[in-house]
Amino acid sequence: MTLAAHDIRWSAARRMIVDGVTLRAEPGRILGLIGPNGSGKSSLLRLLCRLRKVESGVVTLDDRDLATMARRDLAKRLAFVEQQASTEVQLSVCDVVKLGRTPHRGALASWTDADEEAVEAALERVDMSERHDQLWHTLSGGERQRVHIARALAQEPRELILDEPTNHLDIQHQLSILALLRRLGVTCVLALHDLNLASLFCDEIAVLHDGKVVASGPPPEVLTEDLIARVFGVAVSIREGASGRRHIEYLIDLPEEGTAR
Amino acid sequence: MSHAPIEPNWPARIAIVLAALLALVTAIALAVTIGEMKIPLSTAFQALGNGVFDLGYPVSAIQQGVIFDYRLSRALLAALCGGTLALSGAILQALLRNPLAEPYILGISAGASTGAVAVMILGFGGAVLTISGGAFIGAVVALLVVALLATGAGGSSDRVILAGVAGSQLFNAATATIVTTLANAEQARGVMFWLLGNFGGVRWPDVWVATPVALICFGVCMLHAKVLDAFAFGADAAASLGVAVTRVRIVLFATTAVMTATMVSIVGTVGFVGLVIPHAARFLVGPAHARLLPACLVIGAIFMILADILSRILVPQQILPIGVVTALFGAPAFALILYRARRAT
C-alpha cells in the first residue's frame, strides 16, 4: 500500500478544481497524470502532498489519513518536486541537496554522518556528484531539475511527487529525467504533458478532465484515439512505431507549402 | 547507518567568535572615548570599574557621568539596535524571499512610530499602554496591513515591497497628521527629532529593556535557523520539507515586530541597517542562517556604534540624526554589494 486519494475535492475562487478524484499509486511504480491545461493536475498533486487541504474526501498514505500526520513525519516519507522552483539565494548544488535533510534534523541538531551519506548518495543517483560545489545559478534547466530530484531523494522518501518535471527542458533532458525516475525504483506520481512520453515511461496513467478522472489504467488501455479526441480535442492515430512501441501521431491539417496566405 | 555527528572545527569557530567579540568591544571602547570631551581609554576603564563594581578609582564626577551614564549606555543601546534591526532584515528577506525586505521598507518601522506617537501625544491606551506597547501594536497593525495589501495584489514577493511602500506612506501620513493637528510646538519638535533616529536620550533603563528583548528574539530566530534555510525555494518547498509554514511565519513576523517596535520606541526609525547588513553578512559568511543570523547581530551592532560615533563627530557642536548617517554610509555600501554580487554570478 502506498499513496491513495479517495473522492477528494478542492475548489478555488468558487470554482471546483479537483472534483471527486479517486486514484491509487502502486508501490515502486510510476503513475502519470495527464490532462489539458487547467484540468487540475498541479492542484491534485498539491493535495496529494498536503500543500493544500482537501475540502472533502481523504488522502491516505499506507491507509493512514494524511491530514493526521505531522508535517515533518510526512516529509520523511514523501517528497515533492515543484515545477521550475528557483531561488535568488547564492547556494551551491550541495547546499540545495542538504535542504532535503531538514525533516530529519531537529532545530539544534548537528550535521551527522547519516546526513552526509544521504546527500552524497542522492547526488550520485542523479549523476551530479562532480557538480557538488557548483553554484545553483550556473546550472542549466535540466541540471537544476536533477538537483531538485536529488534534494527530494535526500529526504529518503518512499513516494515522490513531481509537477511536470520535464517542462521547459529540451528533448534529451526530458528523456534523461524520466529514465532517471524509472531507475530510482521509488513510487512516483507525476504530471506530464507529452502523451508519447507518458505512454513510454508510466506504468499507469490517470487522465484528468475538468477536475475529474475520466480514465485510468495502463497506458495502452487508457490512451486511445477516442479518449484523446474527447479530452484534448485533437485527432490522433495510434500505431506501432519504429521501436515496436505505441506511437501517437497528431492528425492535423497543415496548409500545403506555398498556399499559406 | 551511523548517526555520529560530524564535529565542527571548534578551534576555528572559537577564533571567529573571539574575533567578533573583540571587534565589538573595540567599537564600544571607541564610542566611550571619542566625543566632544576627549577621554583616555584608561580613564574609561576606571569609570567602568567604578560604575559596575564601585571600585572607587579617582575619576571626576563629570567624566564618570559622561562615560558611564551617557556614552556607555548609548553605545550598548546602539549595539542592540543595530544588531536587532539587521537580524529583522535577515529574517524578513528569508521569509519573503526578497532582498529588499527590511522593517523600514516594509513599513513596520513607520507603523511602530505611529503607534508610539499615538501613545505619546494622544495618550491612547491611558496609563496601561507604554510607548513600547503602542509601538508594538503599531508594528503588528502595519505588518497586517502590508500582508493584506500584498495578498490582495497577488502575493508575489515584489508585491510585498510595493505594499510596504504604500504602508509606510500611509503610516507616515498618520503620524504626521497626529503630530501637526494635536501636538503643541514643543512636542512636535521632539517627535520629529525622535522620528529621524536619535540616541541622545538613551539611559540605562532603556538598555535594561532592550537587552532581554534582543537576547530572547535572537534565541527564537536561532531556533528557526534551519527552517529559514528551507524557505530558499519558497513557502511550498519549505512546507514539503516538513516546515510548519504558517506557524513559523507568525512566530518570526511577531519576533521582528517585537524587535522593531522596541528599538523604534527607544530611538525612533533608523533605515538601511536592516537592508545593508544582512547582505554584507551574507557576503562574509554565506547564506546559511545558522551563521548568518549571529553575523548580522554582531556586524549590525558594530555598524550602528560606528554610525553613532560619526553622528556625534561629523559636524562639530552638532549631532546628526542617526538615520541620516546610516543612509549616508548604507546607500553606497549597498551599491557596492549589488555590484560585487553581480560580478560573482
- Which candidate in A53, A66, A71 is best for mutational testing of the B interface (most B CBs within 10 A)? A71
Dump pLDDT digits (tens) for B134-184.
888 999 999 889 888 887 766 677 788 888 889 999 999 999 898 888 878
Inter-chain CB proximity B233 and A135 less than 8 Å = no
Question: Does A80 reach chain B within 8 Å, measured CB to CB?
Answer: yes
Which pLDDT score, from 0 to 100, does residue B79 have? 96
Question: Does B151 reach chain A within 8 Å, measured CB to CB?
Answer: no
Q: How far apart are CA B191 and CA B183, in angstroms?
A: 9
Residue B128 pLDDT > 80, yes or no? no
Q: How far apart are CA B226 and CA A38, in angstroms?
A: 35
Inter-chain CB proximity B242 and A72 less than 8 Å = yes
- Smallest CA–CA distance, residue B192 to chain A, in Å, is 38
Dump pLDDT digits (tens) for B56-81.
888 888 888 888 888 899 999 999 99
Contact between residue B64 and residue B266 where contact means Cβ atoms under 8 Å apart: no
Q: Which residues of B touch A90 (CB under 8 A)?
A: 282, 286-287, 341, 344-345
- Smallest CA–CA distance, residue B107 to chain A, in Å, is 23
Mean pLDDT of chain B: 86
Inter-chain CB proximity B227 and A51 less than 8 Å = no
- Smallest CA–CA distance, residue B91 to chain A, in Å, is 13
Q: How far apart are CA B37 and CA A155, in angstroms?
A: 61
pLDDT along chain A (261 residues), means of 10: 91 91 94 93 94 94 92 94 87 94 87 91 90 92 92 94 89 90 92 93 95 94 93 91 87 72 51
Which pLDDT score, from 0 to 100, does residue B244 have? 92
Average pLDDT over residues B193-208: 84
- Which candidate in A102, A119, A160 is best for mutational testing of the B interface (most B CBs within 10 A)? A102
CATH architecture of A3-220: 3-Layer(aba) Sandwich (3.40)
Residue B326 pLDDT > 80, yes or no? yes
Which pLDDT score, from 0 to 100, does residue A83 have? 87
Q: Which residues of B touch A117 (CB under 8 A)?
A: 1
**pTM given for the model:** 0.89
Inter-chain CB proximity A86 and B224 less than 8 Å = no
Question: Does B234 reach chain A within 8 Å, measured CB to CB?
Answer: yes
Question: Does B241 reach chain A within 8 Å, measured CB to CB?
Answer: yes
Residue B344 pLDDT > 60, yes or no? no
Of B331, B335, B340, the closest CA to residue B104 belongs to B331
Which pLDDT score, from 0 to 100, does residue B3 have? 60
Tell me which chain A residue has its CA closest to the CA of residue B341.
A90
Which pLDDT score, from 0 to 100, does residue B1 have? 43
Average pLDDT over residues B84-109: 91
Instruction: Write the DSSP assignment of B47-116 as a string of letters.
Output: HHHHHHH-------HHHHIIIIIIIIHHHHHHHHHHHHHHHHHHHHHHHHT-TT--TTTTTHHHHHHHHH
Q: B315 pLDDT band (50/70/90 cuts)? A: confident
**Domain positions in chain B:** 10-344
Inter-chain CB proximity B4 and A103 less than 8 Å = no
Question: Does B233 reach chain A within 8 Å, measured CB to CB?
Answer: yes
Question: Does B337 reach chain A within 8 Å, measured CB to CB?
Answer: no
Q: Write the class of the CATH domain B10-344.
A: mainly alpha
Decide which of B317 and A135 is more confident: A135
**Domain positions in chain A:** 3-220
Dump pLDDT digits (tens) for A21-65.
999 999 999 999 999 998 999 999 999 999 999 999 999 999 899
Is residue A109 classed as helix, strand or coil in its secondary structure? coil
Partner residue opposite B233 with nearest CB, options A51, A87, A117: A87
Q: How far apart are CA B112 and CA A153, in angstroms?
A: 44
Inter-chain CB proximity A105 and B239 less than 8 Å = no
Inter-chain CB proximity B344 and A90 less than 8 Å = yes
Tell me the ipTM for this assembly: 0.88
Which pLDDT score, from 0 to 100, does residue A260 have? 53
Inter-chain CB proximity B223 and A86 less than 8 Å = no
Three-state SS sequence of A159-182: EEEECCCCCCCCHHHHHHHHHHHH
Q: How far apart are CA B222 and CA B156, in angstroms?
A: 26
User: Distance of alpha carbon B74 from its chain centroid, rounded?
Assistant: 14
Contact between residue B31 and residue B71 where contact means Cβ atoms under 8 Å apart: yes
User: Distance of alpha carbon B313 from its chain centroid, rounded?
Assistant: 22
Which pLDDT score, from 0 to 100, does residue A258 have? 61
Tell me which chain B residue has its CA closest to the CA of residue A95.
B288
Q: Which residues of A touch B2 (CB under 8 A)?
A: 112-114
Which pLDDT score, from 0 to 100, does residue B2 have? 46
Range with the lowest mean pLDDT among A107-121, B29-43, B274-288, B299-313? B29-43
Q: Which residues of A touch B99 (CB under 8 A)?
A: 88
Which pLDDT score, from 0 to 100, does residue B345 have? 46
Question: Does A49 reach chain B within 8 Å, measured CB to CB?
Answer: yes
